[in-house]
Copies of this chain bind each other. A is one copy, B any other.
Amino acid sequence: MSNNHVSALQEKEMDVYPSRVHGKPQILQRQDPVVHSEWTPDAPLTQEQSGFYERNGYLSLEGFFDGEELAKYQAEARSLQVTARASKQDEVIREPGGDEVRSVFAVHESHDVFKKLSQHPRLLAIMEYLLGSETYIHQSRINYKPGFTGKEFYWHSDFETWHIEDGMPRMRALSCSIALEDNYSFNGPLMVVPGSHKEFVACIGKTPDNHFKDSLRKQEYGVPDHDNLTRMVKESGIDTPVGKAGSIVLFDCNIMHGSNSNITPMPRSNIFMVYNSVDNKLVSPYSGQRPRPQYIATRDSR
């Protein structure tokens, strides 16, 4: 703990991504690579895929899982949704203004099926290639985005939150979203601003203590300003990488993303696994505040 504290102070002296400290938003250039390895023919992605990820900040891989393997994840997620409804655990997050289960956190710790999924060799090979080192799970969750009542996830860069609230030093992490149902353009799919991962939008406002309990339902701090969002979208547009169940989307920790609500009858459940480089372990939060709990941000990276 005291080691952590010292290293946080050291890091803070050279914090290259300050946020929530200025009165107005600022744009900082990314100081870290996007792909942390040199591509070779042995890489687990084609050169084209790797280049697409580097330029756009995301990559969609259709049909990554299928058959019995996919069915196993779907069944486990459905069964978890049922037990989560009655659960009082902190790991279970509800929809704003309702009791429907929005997310369940730390599924790679609570469920063997998801633990094994997080260590899936085909996934790990890609993560180690993109992050240039061994990796560990920074955060895992299932987002259920139920039909009829699923609410939006407002625009944000994950890294902004992980840096300020969790103490993740640099941009060397990524999310892997595994579709448990077919995604459509109309059931609240993930929207990304391609290329936005190359600039860091420093947000305004100080975060209240224990803010995370509300932010997982509806984010109100660490959100980018309208002017910068408008500019980014005007420059680069919006991509909605939709795919069938079993497809995965990889996206960089700093890409600007969000999703609209879902009034359709089709739920949009996804498993999220966030991989961080072992060379990018958490220090004390850059906000100077208390870190969020382990089930949101792993501090003992095994």
Contacts and interface: CB of A to CB of B under 8 A. Distances in A.
Contact of A265 (B233, B259, B260, B261): B233
A52 interface: no
A206 B151 CA distance: 27
Contact of A258 (B147, B151, B263, B266): B263
Interface stretch (A86-94, A120-128, A134-142, A183-191): A183-191
Q: Interface residues of A toward B: which range? A: 20 to 34
Contacts of A263: 152, 154-155, 191, 258-260
Contacts of A189: 186
Interface string A38-56: 0000000000000000000
Contacts of A259: 263
A117 to B, nearest CB: 29
Interface in A273-292: none
B148 A229 contact: yes
Q: Choose among A151, A186, A191, A258 the residue with the greatest number of B CB atoms under 10 Å from its CB.
A: A186
Nearest to A238: B186
Contacts of A261: 151-152, 260-261
Given A151-B261, A226-B265, 12 more contacts: A147-B226, A154-B263, A184-B238, A186-B191, A186-B240, A188-B260, A191-B264, A233-B265, A258-B263, A260-B260, A260-B261, A260-B263
